[in-house]
Amino acid sequence: MVSSSQASTASADVSDDDAGLKRDISLTQPEIGRLQGEGANQHEKHNRLEATVKWTDNGRCQEQAGLMFDLQYHAAYNTAFFKLRASVTMKNSPSPDQVSLFIFLAPEVIQTLSLSSDHPQDLGPDTVRLHFQLRDGQAATPTLVVPNSINPSHVAWKNKQSSSIWDSLRSLARATDFDVLCRLPRRVMSEARLQSLCEALSSHGVVSTPGFANLGGLYGGRGGKVVTDEVEVEAAVQPSDESPPAYQDLEPGPPMPPIVQGKSSNKRRRGNSDIDGQRILEKPREDLESTVAWLVTELKDHKAREAVMAAELQEYKLREAMLVTELKRVNEKVAKLTSQQEQHEAKCKALDDDMHDRIGAVEARLYELDEDLDLRVDSRLDETLDLKSDSIREELVDYIDENLPNRIQGVLEEATFSARF
């Protein structure tokens, strides 16, 4: 159950948001097309980022490390929400598991959000520093949320670390100016997107993401509650029955009606009975007004969630249709490429067969040419040898005919014969 002040504020905002709510529900087709054209990166959703928070409380610098930071931002719908969470352990808890404590940061309480590039790299090279400056006013502070089972004024923590975290979160819930240093790589969310987020939050055109401020869905459906200074004070003061005032302090009671005749009552009338009666009558009325305002707020959130879900569903359908068309085009292209590949394979096979036949024909022709060349060479060689042999024979005969007789005669003339008888 939300507090009375929050419920009345939500009730006052219902009429102002009806027009925007109807516009969200009845998104036109051009708007859907515009959202589709802007791309899927319009929705930034980053949960459980390692974070450290730094702030000032009563002039003293405070710092709390080991927190988790959730960032939600949808540029198309101008919605955002921020959460800080810490894990603590309660003393004498039936469950040994740690309990999560939340700090809610709604866009409606943020005056300016800036991105700082000059900061220590406490969490490594991917450290991002977001400076939150909240609006003026008692309601413009971070919201500390705890389980319904925790009594903020009588809570007991298991160790000093959990107690220190609890004190730090209570101090942070009163801060209006603080820094959140988180580990957010640029490849996950670029600096341009961070600057766009800061500009949108600083221009006060962003509202809370529907459903993210719902306390009923926290802690496994058991729900959570908001811790404020007023709640803690009310819990710290134990209610006690008022004792009757002293007799001398009583004011004179109203006179008895003259028409009533009978024995007067011996009971003493309380001087503040009218005030108590008025309180008794006003209390249910205040509770009823708070309940009605809370129900109206829940209805508004539900309708806003339905509008966002309807728009996202339409966007998903358009994307699905685009993917189906793209898949069909890819399938057609694959079929065409497959057909071309089969044709190329058939052509390659035909070329291979033709090349094989041509090689066979060339080899056969080469064999024939080789045989013919051998025959021609042998024939030409025989003819050449015959001609050369005849020529040599003729030259030899001519030489013998010319030179041999003369040489024989000369030898005979020069020879000396001696005859012995």
What's CA 189's distance to the chain center, in Å? Answer: 8
Contact 39, 140 (CB under 8 A): no
With tokens 């540029």, the residue in question is: 75
Contact 38, 76 (CB under 8 A): yes
In the DSSP assignment, the letter for residue 249 is G
Which pLDDT does position 249 carry in this prediction? 42
d(CA 264, CA 210): 63
Burial class (CB in 10 A: 0-12, 13-18, 19+), 89: middle
Residue 387, token pair as written in the block? 């001609």
Which pLDDT does position 367 carry in this prediction? 86
Contact 126, 168 (CB under 8 A): no
Query: What are the CA-CA distances from residue 32 to residues 17, 38, 332 (Å)?
Result: 21, 10, 29
Which pLDDT does position 91 carry in this prediction? 82
Q: Is residue 85 assigned to a domain?
A: yes
Q: Is residue 410 assigned to a domain?
A: no
Q: Is residue 204 assigned to a domain?
A: yes
Give 232's contacts (C-beta < 8 A, 6+ positions apart). Answer: 152, 153
Q: Is residue 303 assigned to a domain?
A: no
d(CA 50, CA 83): 12
Residues in the chain: 421
Torsion of CA 260, 263, 268, 271, to 10 degrees: 10
With CA atoms as reference, report the closest residue to 86 among 72, 100, 65: 100
d(CA 170, CA 60): 15
Which pLDDT does position 19 carry in this prediction? 42
What 3-state DSSP class applies to 176?
A: coil
What total number of domains does the chain contain? 1
Residue 305, token pair as written in the block? 């969630």
What's CA 382's distance to the chain center, in Å? Answer: 95
Residue 405, token pair as written in the block? 């007789």
With CA atoms as reference, report the closest residue to 113 among 85, 73, 143, 145: 73
Can you give the pLDDT of all 421 residues of the chain as single tens digits? 344 444 344 344 434 444 443 444 444 555 544 444 444 456 888 999 999 999 998 889 999 999 999 999 998 888 999 999 999 988 877 666 788 999 999 999 999 999 987 777 778 888 999 999 998 876 678 899 999 888 888 888 889 999 999 999 999 999 999 999 999 998 889 899 999 999 999 999 899 988 888 888 888 888 899 998 654 433 333 333 444 444 444 444 444 444 444 444 454 445 445 555 555 566 577 667 767 877 887 788 788 888 888 988 998 899 999 999 999 999 999 999 999 999 999 999 999 999 988 998 898 888 888 888 888 898 888 888 988 888 898 888 888 888 888 888 777 777 765 556 5
Q: Is residue 344 assigned to a domain?
A: no
Helix, strand, coil % over all residues of the chain, rounded to 5 = 50, 20, 30
Contact 128, 114 (CB under 8 A): no
Which pLDDT does position 105 carry in this prediction? 93
With CA atoms as reference, report the closest residue to 163 among 224, 235, 254, 90: 90
Dihedral sign for Cα 374, 376, 377, 382, please. Answer: positive
- The whole domain housing 90 covers 39-235
Q: Is residue 325 assigned to a domain?
A: no
Which pLDDT does position 416 carry in this prediction? 64
* β partners of residue 52: 181
Q: Is residue 19 assigned to a domain?
A: no
d(CA 110, CA 105): 8
Q: Is residue 241 assigned to a domain?
A: no
